[in-house]
Amino acid sequence: MIYNTLLTSPEKKFALLIDPDNHNDESLVKALTIANKTTLDFILVGGSLVSKPIDHTVTVIKKTSSVPVILFPGSLLQLSEKADGILLLALISGRNPDYLIGNHVLAAHFLKKSSLEIIPTGYILIDGKSISSVEYISNTRPIPVEKPDIVVATAMAGEMLGHKMIYLEAGSGADRRVSEKVVAEVRKHIGIPLMVGGGIRTPEDIFNLYKAGADIVVVGSAAEEDPEILIQMAAVRDKL
Ligand code: 1GP
């Protein structure tokens, strides 16, 4: 059980995000072969706009890696029974009903019949300086970076609504990642696991975010550019 591992193991976790459109089979296998040399905990699969079939990407990952694969769907086209679990994301920083409940209703029967482990996740988009794909595609506004009180209250509301995890997102390739200050403030106010992603580029970023209170750090773009960086990134928690 993926979520149970999060609750019962005190160790910080490291996740790799695979955006299927940013890989061909060869680059994917190359990245995963490097990841196999590390203590990577999870592989997330998805993106705001994905044109390739998710099933294929998950199949290639499953052939190459034994790390749990968790769907991180930007849309209903990104569901696959071949994965192990799904972050059932509610975009709670936004006010677009499709991303709060509409798509979840459409997916409900599929998800119930599947063997996917469902992890209800309050997904909070924070201004990462440039307009992110999430912002544009979801037609929602990110929370301004100078309003940590709104981030905290949103995370608290997400927990009280029953979400099992909070994901603080600056957007893939963000110019400005989520700050330690915001992570620390949210950490103080919620009891559920806290995941942070978007614009995280260095092992130092990861160290600082863990220290601030992130339980899981997600990296996508930096590993697409240089998969070897996964080795140093996954080793960060040993230095805590
Ligand atoms: C995006 O948080 C993830 O949804 C990962 O972002 O690609 O910037 O690492 P990066």
Q: What is the CATH number of the domain that holds 162?
A: 3.20.20.390
* 3-state secondary structure at position 73: coil
Q: Which amino acid is at 238?
A: D
- Tell me what pLDDT residue 237 has: 94
- In which residue ranges of the chain is pLDDT below 70? none
- Tell me what pLDDT residue 214 has: 98
Calculate the alpha carbon distances from 158 to 4, 109, 142, 162, 216 in Å: 19, 23, 16, 7, 17
pTM: predicted TM-score of the whole model, two decimal places: 0.98
Task: Give, for ligand 1, the residue of 133, 168, 221, 229 to mutate: max count of ligand atoms closer than 8 Å to Cβ.
Answer: 221
- Tell me what pLDDT residue 206 has: 98
- Tell me what pLDDT residue 6 has: 92
- Tell me what pLDDT residue 27 has: 96
- Tell me what pLDDT residue 179 has: 98
- Tell me what pLDDT residue 133 has: 97
Nearest atom in ligand 1 to the alpha carbon of residue 19 is 7
Domain of 192 in residue numbering reads as 2-239
For residue 125, the CA-to-ligand 1 centroid distance in Å is 11
Among protein residues, the one with the nearest Cα to ligand 1's atom 4 is 172
- Tell me what pLDDT residue 33 has: 98
- Tell me what pLDDT residue 94 has: 98
Q: How many domains does the chain have?
A: 1
Q: Which residue has the tokens 């957007």?
A: 171
